[in-house]
């Protein structure tokens, strides 16, 4: 008999697939930002959607986070990189995460840069209020 029984291999593959599907969302990392609190509903996100999250820390440094890639970026380069990402993915969700100690103008300026880069809408990330 010269046949190979592949059923055990399929079982192992399905178990590994389930393990990766469960652990992949848990492996996301981000920049530590002290977000302002607001009464807002949670954002509905599909697992297949790509989001562009731009963070501004309290010291004024900007970070771009697309999927699992995160890097510090100067504001002058942020528009160029965001534009390339938005052109490549027209339905991408663009979100801004700003430290609550920042002035209003810094966040508005960042939102303006992102809209000039081609983002149709820019959302804000907040934390729910502590009870």
Using CA atoms, how far residue 54 sits from 5, 17, 81, 92, in Å, is: 50, 31, 11, 13
Domain count, the chain: 1
In a domain, 8, yes or no: no
Residue 3 located in a structural domain: no
Please check whether residue 71 lies inside any domain of the structure.
yes
In a domain, 7, yes or no: no
Q: Answer yes or no: is pLDDT of 29 > 90.
A: no
For residue 89, name the pLDDT band (cuts at 50, 70, 90). Answer: confident
Q: Is residue 119 part of a domain?
A: yes
- Determine which helix (DSSP H) or strand (DSSP E) holds 52, and give its type and residue range: strand 51-56
Domain around 61: 30-124
Query: Is the residue at 129 inside a domain?
Result: no
**Calculated CA dihedral for residues 19, 22, 25, 28, nearest 10 degrees:** -50
Answer yes or no: is pLDDT of 7 > 90: no
- H or E element that contains 10: helix 7-23
Q: Find the CATH number of the domain harbouring 91.
A: 3.30.420.270
Higher-scoring residue by pLDDT: 63, 130: 63
- Residue pair 128/37 in contact (Cβ under 8 Å)? The answer is yes
> pLDDT at position 18, please?
93
Confidence band for 17, pLDDT divided at 50, 70 and 90: very high
Residue 11 lies in a domain: no
Tens of pLDDT, residue by residue over 51-65, are 888 889 888 889 988
**23 domain-assigned:** no
Which pLDDT tens digit goes with each residue over 31-53? 565 656 666 666 566 666 778 88
Q: What is the pTM of this model?
A: 0.62
């Amino acid at each position: 008999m010269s046949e190979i029984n592949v059923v055990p291999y399929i079982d192992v593959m399905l178990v590994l697939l389930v393990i990766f599907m469960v652990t992949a969302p848990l492996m996301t990392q981000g920049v530590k930002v002290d977000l302002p609190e607001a009464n807002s509903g949670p954002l509905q996100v599909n697992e297949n959607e790509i989001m562009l999250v731009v963070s501004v820390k309290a010291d004024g440094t900007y970070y771009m986070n697309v999927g699992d890639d995160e890097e510090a970026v100067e504001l002058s380069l942020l528009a160029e990189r965001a534009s390339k990402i938005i052109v490549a993915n027209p339905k991408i969700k663009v979100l801004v995460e700003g430290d609550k100690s920042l002035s209003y103008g810094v966040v508005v300026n960042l939102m303006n840069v992102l809209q000039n880069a081609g983002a149709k809408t820019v959302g804000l990330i907040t934390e729910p209020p502590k009870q």
